Structure 1
């Protein structure tokens, strides 16, 4: 609500087609309901008919839609949710991710069949089911520069 009056286009279950430096770009944003199967179906409907020649960037809370993103030809998928596990152990990594894929996409960059997924550790601390602390999972802010 604090952002309602700002000149921002909200991508809540929406797609925004635009051009950046003469290149077609499709921005897609999907609300997270915490039900991967329902959200996957909604993503399919949202991106139905998307051109494979248009760069598609997906914004979604968690990495749990990676299989659907690959299937739909999403180029770049940005998310957070796992916080890098918040509590990490040497030689093991994340103790808890709250993701359906557990440690498969705990933090950082992943590539599969032309889709790049980036899971940001973010700045916050989760309190629902996870400790409100960070250990060996430093916060991060990521700046992306897209180029052709």
Structure 2
């Protein structure tokens, strides 16, 4: 993985699977600054895979469960995640963590790509942008 931090990437980067199985991929942050919200704009080949569910992950956990809104429209998956403030914090500490996990299953054989779209944004507790310098891509191979 050749990314300049802070970065967002897919884990695992390459997925080998069969047509009759399900799989998951984590949306990971590498050395991110403190963050309170994210809009993760994920691009995928909707003729190759179908989204089953999305779950906010470790990066946005606090004493309260995060709010998440997921909009899936023909190859564009918009994931909005908001850390709910508690008595201790109003944003996380940053670092290298999974932001969310996407569960999906293939609908056809072949290769397809996962990408972070141009609308991907991270915000801190003051609604200021959190810089992301590089974005990784992911690959799905269905046999």
Higher helix residue share:
1
Higher strand residue share:
2
Which bin holds the TM-score, normalised by the shorter protein? under 0.3
Bigger Rg, which one: 1
TM-score between both structures, scaled by the size of structure 1: 0.27
TM-score between both structures, scaled by the size of structure 2: 0.28
By relative contact order (CA 8 Å, sep 6+), the higher-ranking structure is 2
